[in-house]
Structure 1
């Protein structure tokens, strides 16, 4: 790892990747974007760096020596919530769902463009900033839909009185759907409102996050409207 120190309001990004060529390219691009960057090349080093350096975001490869990116994500999230952008060499839905299930907020499949990676990092950090100010906004009210309770100010979700752990992205997706219960929101709408993406190139990202969210709050709570998008179901009167 390098020895860069924090100055001013610069955001910290920890890049965890065992391929030095990729590590150097990602670090250089993020530094050019104004981020402070440290790197780690294996699982144990990543967990220790996350604990000691307290980064604002992790760019995390799935395949790592020591233990893999999924285990790193579990351990880091158990210590403190931090947005995670996972890098995977395989474009398989099962792998993506596992990553989302252990606390990743977004994922990219190799090979990827550095421009898109930088854009994803900016979007994730903007989402965290938006969440930090949510407690002071009118959206801070509790949304109650049957036994589903969403406390926007505290960023807590309960189903049947039991707490459900959601990633920042899953939480924003659920809030977006819950603000218009029963209304069908297109994938493009969700991309724009939750991910801040202006195009439809990430519709699979929406599908994968919806599947991960269903596993946590119940599959029957989110209705799929084929060819259109999704709607949050509400209890019948």
Structure 2
């Protein structure tokens, strides 16, 4: 990875007092210190709720980095898969947390990050499976949050099973369930969209739902506002 690409991801003019700030860590010019700090950030992200608003922004940035640099290995060895796995599972298990502020975006971002990093390289996919991403993705596929997360879970799991090294590890445990769930999602998708969107009587709720679908995984409210 080109060292300068991560450094210049985010710039801030305000002094930061957060010792686990992702943006300060990613802008750290010393490579070894940056990696140490980023590793601490990934661990802290799953254990602290003090910076939850920042967590959504962090995952938005990570989602873009993963999409644009899917073969970059740096984050993989700093705990990103373990972090994304735990964040998805928290979204499944803790509905109070999930519905607080903008946390509803977190499992979606996390699944996209997993999918992007496992898209091309078998060794990345193997690392993801070893890091425990499969069960949380299966929970999304089972509809534990919403059909939106089901959709991105399908993509992530497809990337994982597209590699020979990880195909057997997943299909040995979940092949039949994945097939049945995929068929169910395909058969029911129009009904789900109608019930949750087209069939909603209040126009304001339909518009809000539509905005959420358009912006989830693409920068949230900031993107929506920039397009208005």
TM-score tier by shorter-chain length is 0.3 to 0.5
Specify which structure has the higher proportion of helix: 2
- Structure 1 or 2: more strand by fraction: 1
- Structure number with higher relative contact order (C-alpha < 8 Å, ≥ 6 residues apart): 2
